[in-house]
Structure 1
Amino acid sequence: MKKILTSLALLGVFAAGIGAVGSVAIAAEEAHNAAAPTHFPIHEPKEMDWTFAGPFGTYDQAQLQRGLKVYKEVCSACHSMNLVAFRTLEDLGYSEAQIKSLSAEYTIHDGPNDAGDMFDRPGKPSDHFPAPFANEEAAAASNGGAAPPDMSLLAKARGVERGFPRFVFDIFTQYAQGGPDYIHSLLTGYDETPPAGMVIPEGTHYNPYFMSGVSLKMPKPLSDGQVTYDDGSPQTIDQYSRDVSAFLMWAAEPHMEDRKKTGFRVLVFLLLFGALMYLTKRKVWEGVAH
């Protein structure tokens, strides 16, 4: 009992030490941001409450459908999603007929045909979301010299490094929403005023959540009332940003729910198997002198 209490006391001291170091690190980081606003990002992304967070989190189909609507009506004008096929939208609750209708709204540049010519045709469920530009050079030329990134894996590819001790706690909280948090903060961060004395390069837009500089080429993409929702959800920048961030998370990891279910079953199996092996070992060796 004494050993157990001693161990718990040491664990408490260790946890307190981590907390103290973390507080100092966070305070130093805030001071650094205030003193040198060119630190990127100037503000760390805000942690949002996502339905898919944690070991048992799941996607909200209604939110994913709204996010798809925001992508179609706003983001797809500049951003491609080359790795996402129309047929996978079945995961969002769409029927086969709805997917066929949606894919047919797009024009796919295909070919060559029997005559060796390229041709345009309506999209099919097996097609992927087409890119809005013919190539990366055309995309850059139409966007001030910066080609908009493909959004297929954006929610997994983007994210701000979390310092000590938060990355330690992230192991236990299963935090894996850095990408959606970053995208949401970036989309809602355009209205903030730059610090006094900061020089914003011409043709760029200040955003304190941008991870690669004080500003970026992309102008503010969203505004209140820009996209009409059919389910009565708020038509605000914040809601649009939440919905499209969740949709991009699904696009980057469509099998997340299956992965979590499988992982839970494996852990349960390992616990039961480990307990069985322990009891078997006790039974086999109980009469053997050591």
Structure 2
Amino acid sequence: MLPLFTRSIKFIIGAGFIFVLLLALIGTVTTLIKEPAQPTAEEEFHKHPKELDLASNGPLGKFDNAQLQRGFLVYEKVCASCHSLNLVSFRDLQQLGYNEAEVKKIAKDWPIKQPVQDPKAGTWGERDNLASDRFPKVYYPGTGSPPDLSLIAKARHDGAAYVHSLLTGYQNQPAELLKKFPTAKTPDGSYYNPYFANLNIAMPPPLTSENQVTYSDGTRATVDQMAKDVSAFLVWTAEPTLQTRHRAGVAVVLFLLFATALAYGAYLTVWRGVKH
């Protein structure tokens, strides 16, 4: 008798628990139907990156060294004062077509020097960069540092397209946004950019005018062109072995096709004349 009573109690408790869950589910669904969740300003006005056509795109893509050198110039003249490139060595620039002497000069003339410590005095000093050094870190004492750009093209969805869209996407807040979301006004010290996650970014527009840098190959340095070039350069910093990986992938595919043809030929030879 007691076991039966115990089982009945368990059944009643379980049924009651399921009933409560069903009521909660029905209430939630009913609320969502009557009062659907309203999109936030970020959800409604955030834009996905624009498509960006680079030579490195696709499984057969390869780097355009002329563009990478232009992109490095944009980084050097515009971005380097705020953003580090600490996973890249100066000597890696030889992959872009710079010779050894040019790399040594770039390293020596770089405005941020390498910190060194005097073991005897226990004080810190500076020395010129060597070709074997990585690009020195940029520090902002007390406020932190802007993100390092070494891997930014891999760390962000759509990589180079995101960088290009962000750099060219600064604009005034749309009147429609302020009308629908009055409290979403861009705060002082920030800038509206629909390609940034929360629409407002602390970084001022870095590319503001044509010919902000001077390209030695005669390419017209428009804002769009500079953004495109530096985006291509950051693809290289994030994956300098991209061309090697692409070549290896093509070689593997060709080998597999060849091996498949050989295997099929062997199959026909072995089973030739055998009746099924």
Residue 251 (structure 1) shift: 0.4
* Equivalent AA in structure 1 for residue 201 of structure 2: L
1:116 Cα deviation after fit: 4.8
- TM-score, normalised to structure 2's length? 0.77
Aligned to 1:21: none
Tell me the matched-pair count.
230
Q: Report the secondary structure of 1:261's partner residue.
A: helix
| Shift in CA distance, 45/192, structure 1 to aligned 2, threshold 3 Å | farther
8 Å CA contact retained: 2:160, 2:232: yes
In structure 2, the residue matched to 1:242 is 228
2:69 maps to 1:65: yes
The residue number in structure 2 matching 1:8 is none
Gaps of at least 5 residues in structure 2 are: 1-38, 179-183
> Counterpart of 2:189?
203
2:263 equivalent to 1:277? yes
Q: Which residue is 1:180 aligned to? A: 160
Q: Name the counterpart of 1:47.
A: 51
| 1:49 positional shift | 1.4
Aligned to 1:133: 139
| Pair 1:264–1:112, CA change in 2 (3 A) | farther
Distance 2:80 2:44 in 1: 27
Shift of 1:41: 6.6
CA distance in 2, matches of 1:155, 1:65: 17
4+ long deviations beyond 6 Å: none
Distance 1:195 1:280, change over 3 A: farther
- Where do 1:1-290 residues align within 5 Å? 36-39=40-43, 42-106=46-110, 107-113=113-119, 116-133=122-139, 138-140=142-144, 147-159=145-157, 178-196=158-176, 197=178, 198-210=184-196, 212-224=197-209, 225-290=211-276
CA deviation vs aligned residue, 1:210-230 (integer Å, no higher than 9, x gap) = 1x2021111111112221222
Q: Is the 8 A contact 1:78 1:139 kept in 2?
A: no
Letter in 2 for 1:90: Q
**Contact conserved, 1:192 with 1:208, CA < 8 A, in 2?**
no
Shift of 1:287: 3.7
Relative distance call for 1:67 and 1:114 in structure 2 (3 A) is same
Change (3 A) 1:253 1:194: same
Q: CA deviation at 1:249?
A: 0.5
Looking at structure 2, the residues matched to 40 and 84 of structure 1 have their Cα atoms a distance apart, in angstroms, of: 38
Tell me, what secondary structure is at the counterpart of 2:95?
helix
Which residue identity lines up with residue 221 of structure 2 in the other structure?
Answer: Q
Deviation of 1:139 (Å): 4.7
Q: Which amino acid aligns with 2:202?
A: K
Instruction: Give the 3-state SS of the residue equivalent to 1:68 in structure 2.
Output: helix
1: distance between equivalents of 2:244 and 2:52?
23
Instruction: Report the alpha carbon displacement of residue 138 of structure 1 after superposing the two structures with TM.
Output: 3.6
Q: Which runs of 5+ in 1 are unaligned?
A: 1-34, 141-146, 160-177
Change (3 A) 1:131 1:139: farther
Amino acid at match of 1:190: Y
Q: Distance in 1 between matches of 2:51 and 2:220?
A: 20
Task: Judge conservation of contact 2:173–2:186 (CA < 8 Å) in 1.
Answer: no
> Which whole-Å CA distance do the structure 1 matches of 2:44 and 2:56 have between them?
27
The one-letter code matched in structure 2 to 1:228 is T
Identity %: 45
Moved more, 264-273 or 40-49: 40-49
- CA change 1:54–1:192 in 2 (3 A) is farther
Indicate the RMSD between aligned Cα atoms, in angstroms.
2.1
TM-score, normalised with respect to structure 1:
0.74
Q: Name the CA distance, whole Å, in 2 between partners of 1:287 and 1:188.
A: 68
Give the match's secondary structure for 1:84. coil
Q: Give distance in 2, aligned partners of 1:109 and 1:153.
A: 23
**Is the Cα–Cα contact under 8 Å of residues 90 and 130 in structure 2 kept in the other structure?**
yes
